[in-house]
Structure formats: structure tokens, C-alpha cells
Amino acid sequence: MPGYSFLKILNRYRYFRLFAILLVFIVLYLLNFLINPFSAYWKDYFDKDIWVNATDWMATLVFCALICEASVFAARILDKRLPWTESPFKRFALQITVQILMVVIIIYGIFSICSIFFTDNKTLSLEEQLDIWQFIYVCILVSILISATHTGNFLLVKWKNSMLEASALKLKTAELKEIAMQAELQSLKLQLDPHFMFNNFSTLSELISEDQGKASLFLENLSRVYRYMIVNLHKNIISLEEELKFVQSYIYLIKIRHGENLHIQIDIPASGYEKGIPPITLQLLIENAIKHNMATRKSPLRIHIYMEEEEHLIIRNNLQKISYILPTTQLGLKNIESRYKILSKKIPLIQKDETDFTVYLPLLSIV
């Protein structure tokens, strides 16, 4: 219940305040004794009447309570008016000054009240006067210690809250970045469909009029390829084994389109099947090579797909650049690079010389 929780917190707060006052009470007596253990006040301390000492203790407890409350109150007011973060040196000087003034006022007030009820017109000796000044100094020191403890706790809580806020902000930023990356990745994946389907529907329309048997087989492989693309649309990384199965169906489709003008050789050891790459990457690279190179029966386009030390998948084709410039959607290599940047710190390496065009695809771990 909210009411019960509030009372519980209030009780804990009261117990803490009581503990703090008792601690200040002990420290006050201890410091007074350690500074001057030979004072007249301590010579016959334990020989005094118990009620005299009890009265002294009660007065000191009230005094300690006043110092505690005044010190905490002053620190809270200054936290609002002049925070430590704005001007620490000015705040330090002001807080010390306020603490000293409050202690002097409290001591003067208590001594004034005591003089009303306990008037004996006795002249204080030099030693007694020194004891009083010592008591004032100790009270000021204790007040400063209380204020320092409160301020340290305040700054610690502020630091803890700022760290929690910074952690929460980092977590939120990471979540938003992840959402943005996933959205970008999905956008890049969706761009593949029109580019892929346009070429193959054109081929299918030609086969239907020429050879319905081939058209039926072509359509069957096309459906397998398209099913693969749909099933893996939401996957970021696919195993090399699955990608190669997809590529075999895809190669059938492009063989129908290009015949013996295109030679594709795949040399992947079984040990590399468990490695991963972004889905539909090989299809893009093969399509990219076909689009930008000539392929004839006398000078076929040769594409070689193989592995290098199970770290890279290499796709190499001979360069036979077409003599005219085709309009491009700029999907191919740019799409692959963008996906790798999202998924990994490893980036594909592209090498080009007079005879070959080579792409080194980093192999990824499948989580």
C-alpha cells in the first residue's frame, strides 16, 4: 500500500537522523577530549552527580540535533541557489561562512538561554574561557564535517543518477540505431526483387512462345528462386550451403538466357558450408558481371566462385567490357557493401586489373 510504504520510508529516515545525531554527539565529545584531555572539564567529569552529567548530555544532544538540522538545511538551500556545478570555489567559501555563522548563532542562543536560568555572576577563569572557545571551534569543525558528508552524498547521488541516465541514453541510442539499421537492411533487401524479376520474366515470356517444356521447367526453377528470396527476406545472414543451393537454381535460369556464352565454376569445400554471407549476395554479383561484360560463344564470360582459407569467398570474372553504357540502378556492389557495413565491421574488397574483376566477400559467423 502507498501509505504504508511512505510511513516505512519516513520511519527509516527518522532512524537515520537519530543515528546521525548520536554519531555527532560522540564525535563532539571525542574531539573535545582529544584536543585537550587535561582540561578542567575532564578532571572531575566522572565524579560529578549523575543528574548533572545527564543534564549535560541532554543539552549536548539538543545542540547536536540543532547543528545537524542547520547544516543540512543550509546545504540544501545552497544546492538550489548556488549548485556546486556552477561555481565550486564560490560555493565552498559561502558554505563555510554560513556554517560558521550558524554554529556561532546556535551557541550564542544556547548560552543566552542558560544564562537566564543559571545566573551565578561567576567570573570565568582563563582555562574555562579557553574551554569555551575550544568547544566553539570543535562545533564549527563538526558542522563542517556534517555539511561535507551531506554534500558528498548529494554529489554521489547526482553522479550515480547521471551515470544511470547516460547508460539509459546509450541503451536508447543503441536501440534506435538497431531499429534504423534493420529498416535500412530491409530496404536494401526489398530493392533486389524488381532488379531480379524483370530479367527473368522477359526470358520466360520468350520461352512460352518458343518451347513450352523449357518454359515450364524455367518457371519451376524461377519459383524456387523466388521462394528462397521470400523465405530469407527477414534473415540478415544465410549459410553458404543454402546460398549455393539457391545459386544452382539461379544458374539454371541464366543458362537458359545465355547458354554457352556463360561459364560458371563453383569450387567450395564442404568445410565452408557453415560459414555465412548476406542472402542473395552471389546472385547480385553474378548478375552484375553479366550486365557489365560481353559474353559470346567465342569469348565466353567466365565466373569462378571459390574460397580462400575459409575467410573470404572469392568471385572472379574475366573482363570483357561492353562498348556502350547501360543505365544502372546502382544496386549491385553498392547494395552488398551497404549490407556488410550494417552486419559486420568486415567490408568486401574489390580488385580490378586489365584481365579480371574480383570481389572478396568476408565470410561471417551465423548466430
DSSP for 173-199, written as a single string: HHHHHHHHHHHHHHHHHHTHHHHHHHH
Pick from 182, 200, 215: which residue ends a domain? 182
Pick from 153, 182, 211: which residue ends a domain? 182
CATH number at 249 reads: 3.30.565.10
* Number of domains the chain is built from: 2
Pick from 163, 182, 201: which residue ends a domain? 182
Structural domain of 205: 191-362
* 65 and 109 assigned to the same domain: yes
Domain annotation covers residue 14: yes
Contacts of 91 (CB under 8 A, 6+ apart): 78, 82, 83, 84
* 251 and 283 assigned to the same domain: yes
- Retrieve residue 255's grid coordinates: 543458362
Nearest residue to 366 via CA among 348, 335, 344: 344
Q: Where are the alpha helices (DSSP H) in the chain?
A: 2-35, 40-43, 50-81, 88-117, 126-190, 192-210, 212-231, 240-258, 281-292, 332-343
> Do you know the residue count of the chain?
367
Task: Tell me if 287 sits within 8 A of 195, measured CB to CB.
Answer: yes
Domain annotation covers residue 367: no
* 126 and 222 assigned to the same domain: no
* 170 and 195 assigned to the same domain: no
* 277 and 206 assigned to the same domain: yes
Domain annotation covers residue 321: yes
Domain annotation covers residue 33: yes
Query: Is the four-CA dihedral 186, 192, 194, 200 of positive or negative sign?
Result: negative
* 244 and 307 assigned to the same domain: yes
* 15 and 162 assigned to the same domain: yes
pLDDT tens, per residue, the chain with 367 residues: 444 444 444 444 466 667 777 777 777 777 777 777 776 666 666 667 777 777 777 877 777 777 777 777 777 787 788 877 777 788 778 877 887 787 778 777 777 776 666 555 566 566 666 767 777 777 777 777 776 776 666 677 777 877 888 887 887 777 656 655 654 555 555 555 565 667 777 777 777 877 778 888 888 888 888 788 777 767 788 899 999 988 888 888 888 878 889 999 999 998 888 899 988 888 888 888 988 889 998 999 999 999 987 789 999 999 998 876 655 555 568 778 888 887 888 889 999 998 999 999 999 987 6
Domain annotation covers residue 318: yes
Domain annotation covers residue 107: yes
Query: How, if at all, do strands 262-267 and 301-308 pair?
Result: parallel
- Retrieve residue 212's grid coordinates: 513450352
* 231 and 282 assigned to the same domain: yes
- pTM here is 0.50
Count of Cβ atoms closer than 10 Å to residue 162 Cβ = 10
* 25 and 103 assigned to the same domain: yes
Contacts of 308 (CB under 8 A, 6+ apart): 314, 360
* 209 and 357 assigned to the same domain: yes
Domain annotation covers residue 291: yes
* 229 and 259 assigned to the same domain: yes
Domain annotation covers residue 279: yes
Q: Which three-class secondary structure state does DSSP give residue 313?
A: strand
The CA distances from residue 138 to 4, 92, 108, 274, in Å, are 41, 19, 15, 75
- Retrieve residue 9's grid coordinates: 520510508
* 114 and 140 assigned to the same domain: yes
